[in-house]
C-alpha cells in the first residue's frame, strides 16, 4: 500500500485529510480523532493536516497536544488569520497524499461517509460532496440555492453543491489549481478552474449536521454580497485563462 515518491524515498500516504480551523477549540479534538480513526478503518496510510488559521482560542494548543499522541497528525499555524481559502491553500501545499480530501473543523460533516466512496477515487479527478440536507438557516439555504444556480450558469460548473466542504482531489489536480480568492469563495474558484481545465467532477451525497459548538465565521448577508463580487472576479480570471 505504501508507495514511494520518485527520488524522495519518503512513503507517500494514500490520503491527506486537510482541515482548516479557526477558533474551533470546542470541535477540533473530535474532528481530529474521527479523522485518525477513519484512517485506521480505511486500512491505508493517511495523514491528517490541521491548518490553524490564526485562532485566538486554544485550537492550536489542542492540536499540538494531540500530535504527540498521533504521529499521522501535523499541525500548521498561521500567525494571522488568512481566511478559509488561505488555510486550504496552506494545507494543500503541505499535503503529500496521492489523494487529498478536505473538510471543515466544526463537525458539520462525518468523515466516515467517505468510506463508501473509496472505489470512486481513481475514477474521477474530483469527488464533490453535495449536502442531502443543508443544516443552515432558511436565509442561508435560499442564498446557497440561488448562489449555486448563478455560479453554475456563469462559470459552467456542473457540481450540485459548490460550497460543500467535503471534496476529494487527485493530488496532481489540486496542486495544479491556483487559489487566488480569499475566504469562502475558495470552493467556487477551485471548481471553476477545474472545469476550465477539463477535470472530471463527480457528485457524492453527504449528510450535513447543524453546528453544535463554536460559531460560524460567516455573516450571511455580508457573505451573500461578497459572493456576488467574488463570482464576477472569478469569471474575469476564468476568461483570462480561456483566451
Ligand atoms: N475557517 C478558517 N478560517 C477562517 C474562517 C473559517 O479556516 O477565517 C474554517 C472554520 O474553522 C471551518 C471552515 O473554515 O472549519 C468553515 O467555516 P464555518 O463553519 O464558519 O463556515 P460555514 O460552515 O458556516 O459556512
Ligand atoms: Mg461550518
- 190 found inside a domain: yes
CA distances from 103 to 132, 234, 236 (A): 16, 22, 28
- 5 found inside a domain: no
Write down the pLDDT at residue 4: 46
Report the distance separating Cα 224 and Cα 230, nearest Å: 10
- 164 found inside a domain: yes
Residue with cell 512513503: 11
Write down the pLDDT at residue 128: 98
8 A C-beta contact, residue 185 and residue 155: no
Write down the pLDDT at residue 86: 98
Ligand 1 binding pocket mutation candidate from 29, 104, 210 (most atoms within 8 A of CB): 104
Write down the pLDDT at residue 10: 63
Q: How many domains does the chain have?
A: 1
8 A C-beta contact, residue 50 and residue 32: yes
Residue 111: which CATH number? Answer: 3.90.550.10
The residues lining ligand 1, judged by C-beta closer than 6 Å to any ligand atom, are: 20-22, 24, 53, 81, 83-84, 87, 104-106, 108, 216-218
CA distances from 119 to 78, 124, 184 (A): 35, 10, 29
* Atom 19, ligand 1: residue with shortest CA distance: 216
Write down the pLDDT at residue 9: 55
DSSP reduced 3-state for 229: helix
Closest ligand 1 atom to residue 163 Cα is 25
Low-confidence ranges of the chain (pLDDT < 50): 1-8
Ligand 1 binding pocket mutation candidate from 19, 20, 63, 88 (most atoms within 8 A of CB): 20
- 9 found inside a domain: no
Amino acid at each position: 500500500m505504501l508507495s514511494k515518491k520518485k527520488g524522495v524515498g519518503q512513503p507517500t500516504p494514500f490520503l491527506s485529510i486537510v482541515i482548516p480551523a479557526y477558533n474551533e477549540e470546542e470541535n477540533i479534538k473530535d474532528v481530529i480523532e474521527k479523522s485518525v480513526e477513519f484512517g485506521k478503518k480505511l486500512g491505508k496510510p493517511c495523514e491528517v493536516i490541521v491548518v490553524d488559521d490564526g485562532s485566538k482560542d486554544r485550537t492550536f494548543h489542542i492540536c499540538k497536544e494531540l500530535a504527540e499522541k498521533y504521529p499521522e497528525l501535523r499541525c500548521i499555524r498561521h500567525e494571522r488569520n488568512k481566511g478559509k481559502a488561505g488555510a486550504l491553500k496552506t494545507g494543500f501545499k503541505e499535503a503529500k497524499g496521492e489523494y487529498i480530501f478536505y473538510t471543515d473543523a466544526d463537525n458539520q460533516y462525518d468523515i466516515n461517509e467517505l468510506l463508501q466512496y473509496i472505489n470512486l477515487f481513481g475514477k474521477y479527478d474530483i469527488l464533490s460532496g453535495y449536502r442531502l440536507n443543508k443544516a443552515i438557516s432558511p436565509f442561508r439555504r435560499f442564498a446557497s440555492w440561488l448562489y449555486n444556480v448563478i455560479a453554475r450558469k456563469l462559470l459552467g460548473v456542473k457540481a450540485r453543491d459548490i460550497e460543500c466542504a467535503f471534496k476529494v482531489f487527485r493530488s496532481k489536480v489540486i496542486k495544479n489549481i491556483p487559489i487566488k480568492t480569499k475566504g469562502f469563495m475558495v470552493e467556487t474558484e477551485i471548481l471553476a478552474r477545474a472545469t476550465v481545465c477539463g477535470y472530471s467532477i463527480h457528485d457524492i451525497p453527504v449528510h450535513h449536521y447543524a453546528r453544535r459548538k463554536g460559531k460560524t465565521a460567516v455573516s450571511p448577508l455580508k457573505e451573500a454580497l461578497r459572493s456576488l463580487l467574488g463570482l464576477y472576479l472569478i469569471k474575469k480570471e476564468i476568461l483570462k485563462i480561456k483566451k
